[in-house]
Amino acid sequence: MKPTAKQVAHAAGVSLAAVSRAFTPGAPLDAAKRKRILAAAESLGYISPARRTANAIAAGTITLVAGDLLNPFYPTVLDTLARQLQASDRQLLVYTMAANADVDAIIPQILAARPSAIIVTSTFLTSNMARACRQHQIKVVLLNRIQRDARINAVACDNYQGGRDIGRRLLERGYRKIGFIGGVANTSTHAERARGFQDILAEAGRSIHVRAAGDFNYHDAYAAGMAVLSGGDPPDALFCCNDIMALAVMDAARERGLRIPDDLAVAGFDDIPMAGWNAYRLTTIRQPVERMVQEALNLIDDPTIKPSDDGVTRTLPGTLMARKSA
Amino acid sequence: MKPTAKQVAHAAGVSLAAVSRAFTPGAPLDAAKRKRILAAAESLGYISPARRTANAIAAGTITLVAGDLLNPFYPTVLDTLARQLQASDRQLLVYTMAANADVDAIIPQILAARPSAIIVTSTFLTSNMARACRQHQIKVVLLNRIQRDARINAVACDNYQGGRDIGRRLLERGYRKIGFIGGVANTSTHAERARGFQDILAEAGRSIHVRAAGDFNYHDAYAAGMAVLSGGDPPDALFCCNDIMALAVMDAARERGLRIPDDLAVAGFDDIPMAGWNAYRLTTIRQPVERMVQEALNLIDDPTIKPSDDGVTRTLPGTLMARKSA
DNA sequence: ATAAGAACTGAAAAATTTTCACACACGGTC
DNA sequence: GACCGTGTGTGAAAATTTTTCAGTTCTTAT
C-alpha cells in the first residue's frame, strides 16, 4: 500500500498539515520539525505530489558537469550530447567547473535538480559526490575519464591503444629522441596515454627521451615545450597528451626556428577541429565523440545497470589521423 | 478569487475528475476533451497544482539556445553564463542548433520546459519564436545579436565602433589596399562591423579594395582568403568579420608564402583565446563577454522590463587588442 | 513593560487526485 | 451474426493533500 501523508504525520508526531508544509518550500514551519518530517517520509518511502511532479520533470533531464570548456574538445562533446538529447526529447542542464574549483560545493545544487543522470567530463569526481549520487539513485557516467576505484560507470576512448599508436607512428618514421609532454598527472587520460606510449617504446627497446608537464592547457604546454627544446640534447619528436598542448608545442618549436616535422615531430590526442587546420596539420588520435556520447546514453538508458551497481567501463577505439606534423 | 478546477469543469461541461486528468500527462482522457478543458482553464486563468510546482522549478531555469559551438567564442560565453548562473543558484538548460537547422522545430521543446528566460546566441530567431515567447511570458535576450525589427531585448558589443577601430588601425599602419572578409550577410554582427569599417575608410577617402564571404567559419574563410589572395591586385590588409575567419585567412596567406604583417595584415573580431597564441598574435577587438553576460542577466532580472514590451538594446564597448598581425 | 507583529501550529474546510464500477468500442472466435 | 475478452474513457465517490482560519508563542521596537 502506498504510504500517505497521514502515516508520515503519525510517525513524526505532527499534524497532517505540517507534512504538507514540509514539502512546500517557503511554507512556515520550524526547521527542526521539517527535518524530522522529511526523515520520517524518507524512511516510509512517502513522496509528496509536488515531489512526484518534480521528479517527473527531472526524469527527462540529464546534467552535464563540464570541466575545461576552453579545451575545444569539450565543446564538441557538449554539442554532440545536446543534439542527441534533443533528438530523444530530453533536456540538458549544464554546470561548469574551474579546474581547481571546489567540486563538493556544487553537489547540492546539482542534486537539487534531481536529474535522471549525470555525465561528468570534468577532471575530478570526488567520492563524496559519487556517494551522494548513489544515495539519490542518480546514475553517473564519466566521459573521457575512468576512475576504477570509485565504482562508477565510465566511457572513454582507448587511451592506452592510442598512446601505442602514436608511439608506433613516431618509431616507424625513424625518430630517435622521442619525448613526452604530459597533462595532469593523476588523470586517467594522462596515465593511460603515457602508459601505452611508454610500453611500445619499451617494446622497441627505447625509453622516453625527455618528459615535461603541460597541464592540458596551451599556456603551460608552451612553457614546457620551450623548456624541453631549450635544454641540452633536445628531442626530435614529442607526443603531447592532448591536442591543445601539441599546438602549443608546435608554436614554441616554430618560435625557436624549428621546422616541423623535419627538426621536430609533434603528435597530439583528441583531434579537435584545429588539429586539421593548415597552420598545424597535426598527427593525432581522433576520439570517437559521437559514439562515446551514444554509449554514455546507452549506459544511462540501460535499465539493467543500477545506480547502486559497481561501475561499468566501456572503451572505444580511437583512429590515428596521420597528418603532416609527425 | 482564485479560479478552481470545479469552475473549469463547469465551463468545459465535464466532471471535476476530467479536469484533474487533463493536467496529468498519460491519464486516460479523450484528446479533444483534454483540449477543451485546457482551453477553458486557460481562459479562466486556472493553474493546476502540478503546473504550479512545475512553474516554480522552471522559474530558476534559464535556457541558452546556442548556435555554433565550433566557434570558440561561444564556449566562452557558455562558460561565463554557467558560472554566473551557478553563483545565483539558477540552472542552465542548453540547446544547440546547427546553423541551417529548423529553429521552429525545437520551439515546442524549449517552451515545454517553461524557463523563466531564454538567451539566444544562435544566428536566427524567427518571428514565430519571438511571438511564442511573448505569448508564454518568457523573456528573451539575444546575445551578440541584434534584431531591431523583432521587438526583442538584445545585448551586443559595439560592433560598429569595433569595425571603425579596426579600420583606423589599418589606415594608421599605412595599408593601402584594404579588403574585407564577411560572415553571414544578414546578421547584425556582420552588417554592423562591415558598416563601421566601411565608414571609416570612406572618411579617409578610401573604399574597400576587395570583398569576399567566409560564412563565419574556418573552412569557407580559408577558401575565400585563397581566392582573394590569388586574384590580380591582391590586398595588403584584410579585416575578417570574426577571429576564426582571420585565423583561416592567416593560414591561407602563409600557404601562399606571404609574411604577416609585412606582406599582408590580418585583423579579426572577438578575441578568442587562440587569437593570442604565438602562431597567430592576431590584432582583434575583444568582446567584453563577462559584462555582456552580466548585462543579459540584468535585463532578465529587471522587473520593469516585461516580456511583452518592445525590446531594449544594450551595447557595450569592445577593446582593440593590438597584436602583431596588423 | 508593553504593544505590534511575525512565525508557527492543528483543526477544519476546500481543493485535487485517485479509485471504482460501469459503459462502450473494437477485434477475434465459434 | 452472436459472444466474449480487452482496453479506453467516464463520472461519482472516496481518499488524499493543500489551504484557510483562528489561536498561540515568541521576537522586536518603542
Q: What is the pLDDT of residue B151?
A: 80
| Amino acid at residue number B8 | V
A16: Cβ under 7 Å from strand D? yes
Question: A58-157+289-317, which class in CATH?
Answer: alpha beta
A204-222 average pLDDT score: 94
> What's the CA gap between A290 and A298, in Å, rounded?
12
A158-167 average pLDDT score: 97
> What's the CA gap between A181 and A159, in Å, rounded?
15
pLDDT above 90 (res B177): yes
Residues whose CB is less than 8 angstroms from the CB of residue B121 and which lie 6 or more positions away in sequence, other chains included = B64, B65, B66, B67, B74, B77, B142, B143, B144, B145
A170-187 average pLDDT score: 93
Q: What is the pLDDT of residue A124?
A: 64
Q: Which of residues 241-300 of B touch strand D (CB under 7 A)?
A: none
> What's the CA gap between A285 and A295, in Å, rounded?
19
CB contact under 8 A, A70 and B79: yes
Q: What is the pLDDT of residue B125?
A: 65
CB contact under 8 A, A54 and B57: yes
CATH 1.10.260 fits A5-55, yes or no: yes
Distances (CA, A) of A36 to A32, A136, B31, B109, B167: 6, 19, 43, 39, 68
Q: Give the highest mean pLDDT range of B138-152, B161-175, B295-309.
A: B161-175
> What's the CA gap between B227 and B217, in Å, rounded?
16
Q: What is the pLDDT of residue A148?
A: 73
First to last CA, chain A: 68
According to the 3-state scheme, what is the secondary structure of chain A? CCCCHHHHHHHHCCCHHHHHHHCCCCCCCCHHHHHHHHHHHHHHCCCCHHHHHHHHHHHCEEEEEECCCCCCHHHHHHHHHHHHHHHCCCEEEEEECCCCCCHHHHHHHHHHCCCCEEEECCCCCCHHHHHHHHHCCCEEEEECCCCHHHCCEEEEECHHHHHHHHHHHHHHCCCCCEEEEECCCCCHHHHHHHHHHHHHHHHCCCCCCCEEECCCCHHHHHHHHHHHHHCCCCCCEEEECCHHHHHHHHHHHHHCCCCCCCCCEEECCECCHHHHCCCCCCEEEECCHHHHHHHHHHHHHCCCCCCCCCCCEEEECCEEECCCCC
- List residue ranges whose Cβ is under 7 angstroms from nucleic strand C: A 2, 14-18, 21, 28-31, 33, 49, 52; B 4-6, 16-17, 19-21, 23-24, 46, 48-50
Q: What is the pLDDT of residue B131?
A: 82
All 3 cell numbers of residue B141? 535576450
Does the CB of B250 have a partner CB in chain A at under 8 Å?
Answer: yes
> What's the CA gap between B31 and B263, in Å, rounded?
70
Does the CB of A107 have a partner CB in chain B at under 8 Å?
Answer: no
CA distance A249 to chain B (A): 10
Per-residue pLDDT band at B196 (split at 50, 70, 90): very high
- Listed range (A106-120, A162-176, B188-202, B255-269) with the worst mean pLDDT: A106-120
Per-residue pLDDT band at B253 (split at 50, 70, 90): very high
Which DSSP letter does residue B149 get?
G
Does the CB of A16 have a partner CB in chain B at under 8 Å?
Answer: no
> What's the CA gap between A264 and B106, in Å, rounded?
48
Which DSSP letter does residue B99 get?
T
Greater confidence (B199 vs B55) lies with B199
Domain residue extents for chain A: 5-55, 58-157+289-317, 159-286
Strands B153-157 and B313-316: parallel
Taking each helix axis from N to C terminus, what angle separates B31-44 and B5-12, rounded to the nearest 10 degrees?
A: 120
Q: What is the pLDDT of residue B207?
A: 93
Identify whether the C-beta of residue A156 lies closer than 8 Å to the C-beta of residue A188.
yes
In total, the C-beta contacts within 8 angstroms joining chain A to chain B are: 112
Q: What is the pLDDT of residue A186?
A: 84
Does the CB of B219 have a partner CB in chain A at under 8 Å?
Answer: no
Fold identical between A5-55 and A159-286? no
> What's the CA gap between A47 and B131, in Å, rounded?
38
User: What share of chain A in percent tops pLDDT 90?
Assistant: 56
Q: What is the pLDDT of residue A4?
A: 85
Candidates A70, A94, A250; nearest CB to B92: A94
Q: What is the pLDDT of residue B282?
A: 97
B22-37 average pLDDT score: 83
Q: Would you call A256 exposed, middle or buried from its count of C-beta atoms within 10 A (0-12, 13-18, 19+)?
A: middle
Q: What is the pLDDT of residue B82?
A: 94
B18: Cβ under 7 Å from strand D? yes
Per-residue pLDDT band at A134 (split at 50, 70, 90): confident
pLDDT above 70 (res B99): no
- Listed range (A84-88, A292-296, B7-11, B194-198) with the worst mean pLDDT: B7-11
CB contact under 8 A, A78 and B57: no
**E-assigned strand segments in chain B:** 61-66, 91-96, 117-120, 139-143, 153-157, 178-182, 211-213, 237-240, 265-267, 284-286, 313-316, 319-321
Secondary element (H or E) of residue B281: none
Candidates A72, A86, A96; nearest CB to B79: A96
A20-32 average pLDDT score: 83
Distances (CA, A) of B3 to B20, B44, B46: 14, 7, 5
User: What share of chain B in percent tops pLDDT 90?
Assistant: 56
pLDDT digits (tens, 9 = 90+) for B55-66: 888 888 999 999
Does the CB of A247 have a partner CB in chain B at under 8 Å?
Answer: yes
A193-211 average pLDDT score: 95
Does the CB of A227 have a partner CB in chain B at under 8 Å?
Answer: no
Three-state DSSP at B141 gives strand
Distances (CA, A) of A109 to A115, B65, B167, B211: 11, 22, 47, 50
Chain B residue numbers touching A250 (CB-CB < 8 A): 279
Candidates A82, A109, A247; nearest CB to B94: A82
Identify whether the C-beta of residue B70 lies closer than 8 Å to the C-beta of residue A79.
yes
> Which of B:51-70 have CB within 8 Å of A?
53-54, 56-57, 66, 69-70
> What's the CA gap between A214 and A187, in Å, rounded?
13
> What's the CA gap between B178 and B267, in Å, rounded?
11
Nucleotides of D under 7 A from a protein CB: 8-13, 15-20
CB contact under 8 A, A57 and B54: yes
CB contact under 8 A, A95 and B93: no
Distances (CA, A) of A164 to A161, A200, A243, B200, B235: 5, 6, 16, 56, 47
Q: What angle do CA A156, A161, A163 make, to 5 degrees?
A: 100
All 3 cell numbers of residue A171? 618509431
pLDDT above 90 (res A157): yes
Secondary element (H or E) of residue B218: helix B218-230
Q: What is the pLDDT of residue A100?
A: 64
Nucleotides of C under 7 A from a protein CB: 7-12, 14-19
Identify whether the C-beta of residue A142 lies closer than 8 Å to the C-beta of residue A176.
no
Does the CB of B33 have a partner CB in chain A at under 8 Å?
Answer: no
pLDDT digits (tens, 9 = 90+) for A36-51: 888 888 888 888 888 8
Chain position carrying cell 546514475: A139
Q: What is the pLDDT of residue A128?
A: 76
Q: What is the pLDDT of residue B124?
A: 64
Pick the CATH number of A159-286 from 3.40.720.10, 3.40.50.2300, 3.40.50.360, 3.30.499.10: 3.40.50.2300
β-partners of residue B15 are: none
Greater confidence (A38 vs B283) lies with B283
All 3 cell numbers of residue B115? 524557463
pLDDT above 80 (res B154): yes
Per-residue pLDDT band at B39 (split at 50, 70, 90): confident
CATH 3.40.50.2300 fits B59-157+289-316, yes or no: yes
Does the CB of A25 have a partner CB in chain B at under 8 Å?
Answer: yes
Residue whose C-alpha is closest to residue B322's, from B158, B160, B173: B173
Per-residue pLDDT band at B278 (split at 50, 70, 90): confident
pLDDT digits (tens, 9 = 90+) for A29-85: 888 888 888 888 888 888 888 888 888 888 889 999 998 888 999 999 999 999 999
Q: What is the pLDDT of residue B142?
A: 92
Does the CB of B279 have a partner CB in chain A at under 8 Å?
Answer: yes
Q: What is the pLDDT of residue B318?
A: 97
A255-278 average pLDDT score: 94
pLDDT digits (tens, 9 = 90+) for A301-322: 988 888 777 888 999 999 999 9
Average pLDDT, rounded, for chain A? 90
Residues whose CB is less than 8 angstroms from the CB of residue B202 and which lie 6 or more positions away in sequence, other chains included = none
Candidates B49, B57, B254; nearest CB to A279: B254
β-partners of residue A140 are: A118
By C-alpha distance, the chain A residue nearest B108 is A89
Residues whose CB is less than 8 angstroms from the CB of residue B287 and which lie 6 or more positions away in sequence, other chains included = B73, B144, B157, B269, B270, B271, B318
Report the b/e string of B40-69 with b at 16+ CB within 10 A.
Answer: bbeebebebebeebbeebbeebbbbbbbbb
Q: What is the pLDDT of residue B64?
A: 94
Residues whose CB is less than 8 angstroms from the CB of residue A28 and which lie 6 or more positions away in sequence, other chains included = A21
Backbone angles phi, psi at A98, to 5 degrees: -60, 150
Between the CA of A269 and the C1' of C6, what is the distance in angstroms?
62
